[in-house]
Amino acid sequence: MHVNLSSLHKHALRPGAGAAPIFSENAPLRTQDLELPEDVVDALTEQDMSHISRPRDLGTLHGKGITGKGVTVAVVDSGIAPHDDLKDRIVAFRDFTGPRTVKRSPSDPTGHGTHVAGIIAGANKEVPGVAPGVDLVGCRVNSSDDAVKAIDWVIENRNKYSIDVLNLSLGVEAPANPNEDRLRKAAERAVEAGLIVVAAAGNECNTELCSASIASPGISPKVITVGALDDMGTTGRSDDQVYASSSRGTQDNGKPDLVAEGVNVLAPLASKSSYSKSMRAGSKYMALAGSSQAVPMVAGTIALMLQVNPNLDHETVKDILKATADPLKNTPKAAQGQGRLDIKGAVSAAERQL
């Protein structure tokens, strides 16, 4: 059973209305994600761990020593808590939620950013991150204004902290006029500065009429936009489908670029966070769903690609991810982009670019 933890009510559902954090201008962070029941997350029995939703062939790549070592990913989100799976690799942390940028110890009052960071970089072999060798830079934000400031800070400090990839598991409703879209402009500045930027498609597809629902900054043609794939809790691919709530593009805007695992994704739980209040005391992991979870699957994959080929730039990475993606049958392009993430194919293609 999955539980929707909206601020208004709880009810069982699948796949439900899980969502990336969606900001409104100057408004608090809003999340609507899914999680496993307390006893499942707390116990982590062999049966519970049999499927934690990760890209196929990930274990093979890790076995070859391809873990993202030497790569740094910046996570602009609700923060990153010093979870045991992450704390030794958080090389910088800044809080943008007040009137000025503050250097703080890593923290995450909500829990969303820790979950995202864990999908990228978690070091637990039983609940592995996609790139458990990477370093992390955490930026705590609570509004779109905060996010713009954080992105600009990442750009300014890219060289200081050797930041390669920017993970944006967040979004706002895209303004009709792109010139008024400050978040999109900030993400595009990051691309122009040489960062590889990955953003959420959003989870605003709540009815059959959900075209043109891609969030900003994912709406930008410059960023790598990721929708959520539902692997239906199986290791086979024949039943995979786009997550029902994952935002769709239009026939002509080319978004999302691809989809990645984004349902029932087990990853670190921030202690004393809003998410932890619904869990049994001592729980270390929880499962969430949404394009927020799909984005770090791709950000982690990019870290693996950069380990085998540090010379890749944003456009080359984007082209490789799209070219190697595996199209889903009977699924509109506006829902899946070029198809599901092929992590092994993407890393192999990156290596061939040497």
Classified as helix, coil or strand, 307 is helix
Q: Which of 163, 242, 142 lies closest to 201 in space, CA to CA?
A: 242
Exactly one of 245, 292, 314, 342 is catalytic; name it: 292
Element (H, E) at 304: helix 291-308
Helix axes 343-352, 291-308, angle to 10 degrees: 30
Question: Is 115 labeled as catalytic in the residue annotation?
Answer: no
57: tokens are 């062939």
What is the C-alpha to C-alpha distance for residues 312 and 290, in angstroms, rounded to an integer? 28
Helix axes 291-308, 314-324, angle to 10 degrees: 110
Identity of the residue numbered 289: A
Burial class (CB in 10 A: 0-12, 13-18, 19+), 177: exposed
Question: Is 112 labeled as catalytic in the residue annotation?
Answer: yes
Exactly one of 33, 42, 48, 77 is catalytic; name it: 77
Helices (H), 55-162: 58-63, 112-121, 144-156
Q: Which of 60, 68, 63, 85 lies closest to 133 in space, CA to CA?
A: 68
Exactly one of 2, 83, 112, 115 is catalytic; name it: 112
Residues 116 and 169: beta-carbon distance below 8 Å: yes
Q: Which of 132, 322, 146 lies closest to 227 in space, CA to CA?
A: 322
**Main-chain dihedrals φ then ψ at residue 122, nearest 5 degrees:** -55, 135
Give the residue numbers annotated as catalytic, written as ranges: 77, 112, 292
